[in-house]
Amino acid sequence: MNPFKNIIFVTLDGYRKDKLDLCPNLKSHVENSIYFENMITVAPYTLAAHHSIFSGMYPSRNGVNAYYNMFKFKKNEIATIPELLKEQGFYTSCDIINDVVIPAKGFDEVNIFDEKTVDFKKRHTELITKLSQRDSFFLFLHYTEPHKNYVVDIVQKYKDAENKDEYFNQVEENDRRYSSYMHELDEYVFEILNTIKNCGISEETTIIFQADHGTAVGERNGEMFYGVFVYDYTTNVFSSIHIPGRESMKISPQCRTIDLFPTILEMASYPKNKIDLKVQGESLFEIIDGNTFGDRDVFIETGGLYGPWPSPKKHNVFCIRTNNKKLIYNDTPQTWEFYDLKSDPNEENNIYDNTAEEIKTLKLKLITFMQDNNIETNIS
């Protein structure tokens, strides 16, 4: 059987990978999948994260390089996953929160749910059941239940300035509240997997569970949710791919969410020589099959809707992460940060030294990336 006859991609919106032990069904699934221990999102908020996945390009290249640039995706220049899968004979469908959260072009069927009233388990299992009658399908599902609950329970409660100190002084309570949403998420995962099994398509369906970004619980003053900073709690994200017939494995080298684009195309046997040269992602099969080793440099960019230096019209925080080292440039205050993630995984000790050779090398890479992608900053 063809394990890529059907491909289901599920975004677990805002899912923190450190909550896997609270999700026994997802954890069991991961143990029988390819699990990426260091998958890094190229942008820690949904709009930019999704458009990068669907284009294989960094936000600065695909056009969605700010919260308010959600309508600026270069749709006339860039082919998307569903567009190219259609060329390979896939029926393409999605269920999303709104029509700008992903580039919707290329889908045969675009479904939009009302987050306030949606029953994800019922809606998504019915959609899988319907599509299981197709010869071959690609289905994108956007699961936002924990995200919605956290907004209602935490963000809206503490959004006023006088309440913010209370939020940042109760990290454990914020974390407990977030953790309480995991049971519902895990039940959703169970229903999705059980439906695939009951439809008799388990042996010919590859399923990807992917977090678009993580969620802050007050670790850093100034970030209540995500999208403000580029620390690992929102950028080192959950990622697993279950391919029927393939051995389970853990992938330790660092990968990028833009790598999912060419990976999915390879599943669909899309000719590599037809992939646009502007695509910046590389297929994960190169690592899965043992053809390449070592970290892939990843660049991360964001501009918050709030926080110490909001910039919803233009990204103003940039980062390079590689080999357990992270260099961050904050453009508005023009400050730099450098962390050794091996000795300081929580990024608490900024050891930036502009005379250090290692930092000079990373700075040159980051500046070159920004120049190559036409990113304007205050760097002189």
Per residue in 116-142, pLDDT tens? 999 999 999 999 999 999 999 999 999
Taking the domains of the chain in order of start, what are their residue ranges?
A: 6-288, 298-372
The DSSP letter of residue 152 is: I
Q: Tell me the pLDDT tens digit for each residue of 56-69.
A: 999 999 999 999 99
pLDDT greater than 90 at residue 375: yes
Distance CA 371, CA 380 (A): 12
Per-residue confidence (pLDDT) for residue 161, from 0 to 100? 62
CB 288 within 8 A of CB 260: no
Per-residue confidence (pLDDT) for residue 380, from 0 to 100? 58
Give the residues across from 142 on adjacent strands: 11
pLDDT greater than 80 at residue 220: yes
Distance CA 126, CA 116 (A): 19
Give the residue-averaged pLDDT of 153-169: 79
Pairing of strands 91-96, 317-322: unpaired
Per-residue confidence (pLDDT) for residue 156, from 0 to 100? 78
Q: 268: pLDDT confidence band, cut at 50, 70 and 90?
A: very high
**Residues above pLDDT 70, as percent of the chain:** 99
* Cα angle value 239/318/42 (rounded, 5°): 20
Higher pLDDT among residues 292 and 365, named by residue:
365
Give the residue-averaged pLDDT of 233-258: 98
Is the four-CA dihedral 356, 361, 366, 368 of positive or negative sign?
positive
The DSSP letter of residue 326 is: E
Give the residue-averaged pLDDT of 335-360: 98
Q: Output the six-digit token pair for 378.
A: 């205050």
pTM over 0.95: yes
Q: 152: pLDDT confidence band, cut at 50, 70 and 90?
A: confident
Residues 6+ apart with CB under 8 A from 196: 8, 128, 202, 205, 207
Distance CA 103, CA 346 (A): 34
The tally of CA atoms less than 13 A away on the side-chain side of residue 34 is: 20
Amino acid type, 310: P
Distance CA 245, CA 288 (A): 14
pLDDT greater than 80 at residue 228: yes
CB 239 within 8 A of CB 281: no
Query: Mean of the per-residue pLDDT values for the chain?
Result: 96
Q: Tell me the pLDDT tens digit for each residue of 292-343.
A: 889 999 999 999 999 999 999 999 999 999 999 999 999 999 999 999 999 9
Closest CA to 85 of 287, 243, 260: 260
pLDDT greater than 80 at residue 196: yes
Distance CA 53, CA 211 (A): 11
Give the residue-averaged pLDDT of 163-186: 93
What is the rounded end-to-end Cα distance, in angstroms, of the chain? Answer: 57
**Residues above pLDDT 90, as percent of the chain:** 93
* Cα angle value 237/240/245 (rounded, 5°): 170
Amino acid type, 334: Q
CB 210 within 8 A of CB 237: yes
Neighbours of 257 (CB within 10 A): 27
Q: 35: pLDDT confidence band, cut at 50, 70 and 90?
A: very high
Helix (H, G, I), strand (E, B) or coil at 159: coil
Domain 6-288: give its CATH architecture: 3-Layer(aba) Sandwich (3.40)
Q: Tell me the pLDDT tens digit for each residue of 66-110.
A: 999 999 999 999 999 999 999 999 999 999 999 999 999 999 999
Domain 298-372 in this protein, CATH class: alpha beta
Q: 162: pLDDT confidence band, cut at 50, 70 and 90?
A: low
Helices (H), the chain: 24-30, 46-55, 59-62, 81-87, 120-131, 145-150, 161-168, 171-179, 182-198, 232-235, 260-267, 285-288, 357-372
